[in-house]
Amino acid sequence: MGFRGEALASIAAVAQVELKTKRPEDEAGSLLEIENSTVTKQEPVAVPNGTSIAMKNLFFNVPARRNFLKSNAAEMRHIVDEFTRVAMSFPHILFTLSANGQQVFHLEKGTLKQRVVQLLGNNYNAKMVAVKEETDYMNIYGFTGKPETAKKTRGDQYFFVNNRYIKSAYLNHALMSAYQGMTPSDSFPMYVLFIEIDPEQVDVNVHPTKQEIKFEDEKIIYAFVQAAVKHALAQFSVTPTLDFELDSSIQQLSAVSRPFTSEQKEMTSASPLYKGFTQKHQAHFIERPSSSELKHWKDFYEPVKKEETQFEYEQAPQQIFSSHKNKLAFIVDEHTDLAQVLNTYILYPTENSFLLINQQAAHERVLYDQMSAAVNGTPIATQSSMFPSTLELSPADSVLLAELLPYFKILGFLIEPFGNNTFVIQGTPADLESGNEKQIVDFTIEQYKHFSTDIKISSREKLVRSLARQRAIKTGTRLTEREMKQLLSDLFACDPFNIAPDGNPTYLEFKQDQIERMFGK
């Protein structure tokens, strides 16, 4: 981890430390036991060559500090995350991890691909593309996922520089730009990439844990990563292709009909772009991107800003959120005339206005209220599956799901461990459409892992919000009139019903007089 020498002494001051060590030239090794900075035992011991250090009972003598540790499950997830990063860097070394008397990982020596599959799950086995480029300036190798593996949340993304795990929004942007046009803008592909570079070109002392580093020439690294990934995706034929019959008018264009002269051919062949696609080891010769191309790289990490319209904010700011006092006025019955717009919004007319309701946000609000009531009262009824689904997860996700199983049960999901990071979904909520329960649980875990909020909320609350988001009807879903009426009836019964669990509005209200003013009346 890059600790200085005094870090070990600091740990020995708040834990019980046992150190065993032996050099190849020594007949016997040494055993050292330290407790509360005091040496309690020092004697010869028979041990194999090498050093083993064990830290036990952290903060046993400073209980106040121990109170700041999170739950066992949360700390276990941190350990698994760190274990994953170290084990990924050294596939030629056997790693094991045990917790509470049970073995969580047993990773045999093997190739990098085998190690990646062991750590991230078998579902990536046939869905990875090899990346490998070598130059005299730097090398890059590893794997990146095919576009169909992209998830809605950042998860399985790992960069290593000289075998040390790093976090880099800048390099992540380079990789994401290589996928542009192949994955939705809100999806994130998997990657495990190793960069080898002269250590003199890197400053590792810009962050306490050395997880953030600074390159001497960041633009070259950016272009190199982008080009290497693009090249890998192109080689394995996963870049998008156009499939159309050539229009006859195109044949008449001068660019098609005019002969390709030898001068033009020579000029084209000499270009860096041509060489980058036709010759090996050319990635580091790519011309540096201009500053204008790179200036928007931080946009990937900015929260999405809602489009502000002149009508909403200048003419009728008070109408963006309807007063909760109007709740009783919103009634859905057989006379209510509803319409769906863009398969995303529902128009609900009132006497002097209409509501534009976001169907996904509204459904999230309904599901959130129903599940919150279940958590605090009667659990949701579970319907047993005639054909139980098997869910295979990575070891890290298995630890998380095992922690959340009691909450899933309250919310109507009967999930049982099946050994070896596998679970069986024996039952689901009665109102859940069968066939997509695996996707619901898998995506909910992804959403839960990357749940972010400014306030500290419980695991149960995080799960309810994540599950509400995953189960909600999505943008672009066509609804029948009956489904729309049921959704709005359920929404208007919620308290409050004008905001979704994430704080965004479920609807906007448009008043007749304000609309008329917009048309100059």
Burial of 451 (0-12, 13-18, 19+ CB in 10 A): middle
Comparing 128-132, 224-228, 315-319, 476-480, the range with the smallest average pLDDT is: 315-319
- Asked if the 127-239+261-305 domain carries CATH number 3.30.230.10, the reply is yes
pLDDT tens digits for range 191-216: 999 999 998 888 888 877 778 888 88
pLDDT above 70: percentage of residues in the chain: 79
What is the average pLDDT across 84-97?
93
Domain formed by 322-510, architecture: 2-Layer Sandwich (3.30)
Q: How confident is the model at residue 258, as a pLDDT?
A: 56
Is the pLDDT at 232 greater than 60? The verdict is yes
Q: How confident is the model at residue 324, as a pLDDT?
A: 45
CA separation for the pair 503, 453 (Å, rounded): 11
pLDDT tens digits for range 242-273: 444 444 444 455 555 555 666 666 666 666 65
What is the average pLDDT across 420-434?
83
Q: How confident is the model at residue 313, as a pLDDT?
A: 36
Per-residue pLDDT band at 293 (split at 50, 70, 90): low
**What 3-state DSSP class applies to 254?**
helix
Q: How confident is the model at residue 3, as a pLDDT?
A: 56
CA separation for the pair 395, 77 (Å, rounded): 10
**pTM for the whole thing?**
0.61
What is the average pLDDT across 394-421?
85
Find out whether 494 and 366 touch, Cβ atoms under 8 Å: yes
pLDDT above 90: percentage of residues in the chain: 23
Is the pLDDT at 325 greater than 50? The verdict is no
Q: How confident is the model at residue 451, as a pLDDT?
A: 72
Q: How confident is the model at residue 65, as a pLDDT?
A: 78
CA separation for the pair 167, 211 (Å, rounded): 6
DSSP 412: T
Four-way CATH pick for 5-107: 3.30.565.10, 3.20.20.105, 2.60.120.560, 3.40.50.720: 3.30.565.10
Q: How confident is the model at residue 30, as a pLDDT?
A: 96
What is the average pLDDT across 475-479?
88
Find out whether 24 and 49 touch, Cβ atoms under 8 Å: yes
- In the chain, domain spans: 5-107, 127-239+261-305, 322-510
Comparing 224-238, 302-316, 368-382, the range with the smallest average pLDDT is: 302-316
For residue 474, give both structure tokens. 């999505």
pLDDT tens digits for range 489-508: 899 888 888 888 888 899 99
